[in-house]
Structure 1
């Protein structure tokens, strides 16, 4: 049996073993340090994330309260938003204004549609009742004198034409509102057109001692849609004829100014109140509250005129004093301005 013999380490070997133990301890401490740094980093990230979420929730709750207070007010003020939400409040205010404007336009459009039905029924009822009434008289009275029969037939025919005119005007304003007006530009000898229209109005104006005076350059040529512009001038003259005093002159003055043609239609009659001059071109507008048949159409003539003038790239305005009323139509000479 071989005996175990204990051998003591030499000083060099003891030093080596001591160094190995130190390196192992250092490596262990380094691992612990790295793990500790990683753990601290994770903890800091989690805490920061929690605080950020908490801050976001706080801001959202604050914004929610301020929004609720803003929406509950009938006339809210942007001061309800704190300084940190001032930009958001400004955007919300702009969005609210746009929404209110859209609601206003929708309400106005609905009201205009209701007005269209109401005025259509009102304006068609009177001439239609006359047509039916006179036709009933003709049917029930076969022995009427020929002179009286012809008179009734003439009245019935006039009322039928009146119905046709009203229906055409309603179709026109609907078409002009729903579709882009197509302008077919061409050369228009303006003075000749206006003189011809003055002749056409002579039978209407002469019984009341009225007349039309045209002052226009003889060689003036306007580029535009002749049919549509004739409709504009006709509607303005019909309005002037309906509201001018007896034994007065309706003047049409035309001039060229800054590459534009300016037509001024002036008549002497009751003045248009200033607060009504902005609405006179609205559909169904009438100066007389009774909408009597004596003063003419459905209240669509000037509205149609404005749409046609706009399609030509021009403007139409009205000014009124105690002495006279003037409708001014301004049209570009350049055909490229027509749309």
Structure 2
């Protein structure tokens, strides 16, 4: 079993604090993805766990034992870098075998472990080749094999497929997930790509400017974002965000998007839930993902007339930009549902997919309808 815990981690580069009071508990065999923009502190956090960076505050525990003062070589952690970092003068067999030879394993033990890892990663046919003869995907498989061969307590991966093309990234995502399920190792994976995070993670750790924003399953982070940053960082296209006002008319709640002439109808219980949060009298920020915007080609009750500004065809579906007041909201429709920009359509927001945020703090009000 391998459990990793970060308690109150703080890290400075000069006067700049790049990690701020970070607390995460990672369970045995869990696949955790650290997700955030470049410069948010995710790679520094990964390197601190590995022992490649020192920390200025807090504790790093592996199986309950503090390791922040322990050398990287004593932590039994494997690290896969974004650059493949293979030895060019060695063939694939020798590259994979290198960590075992460094610990003076016998020749038979080395051969047994290398062959087992090569079979798992499907690189047995490459063992005699030099890195210069390999594709990018194969080189990354070899780098992962070199990390796996000594059976470490945990695998740390720093954007390992970021340099590959789109098709190879997709293939390697599947391979990494399959490998994790087969090996059962505790894995921490760093990326700025939310698609990678959503497809790989048991839990996603979203970071921004060194501060932990949210920890949760991919479903929770996508469907229940903790704040506006998470709402607009996770998901493609991003969640629509618009300033809005809420009022009560004819027994229904009405949400008026900034600049709109008329409001969108919502269930009346929205009023009471906003009152309970102390935000009824003030303005809010409305959030809705593109699939939560429903479009009709003809007028319907509860729908508002809007103008189509842009259509982005994506094959399986279209992304349609709608002018609502002074805001542009993006909706997801079936392919070809709206044929041309400039057309008039009718739209509503599915209340069950609406999100409400505090305008001052950006934090979700946690209201579900």
Please confirm whether the aligned pair reaches a TM-score higher than 0.5, indicating the same fold: no
Larger radius of gyration: 1
Higher strand share: 2
TM-score range for the pair, normalised by the shorter chain length: under 0.3
Normalized against structure 2, the TM-score is what?
0.24
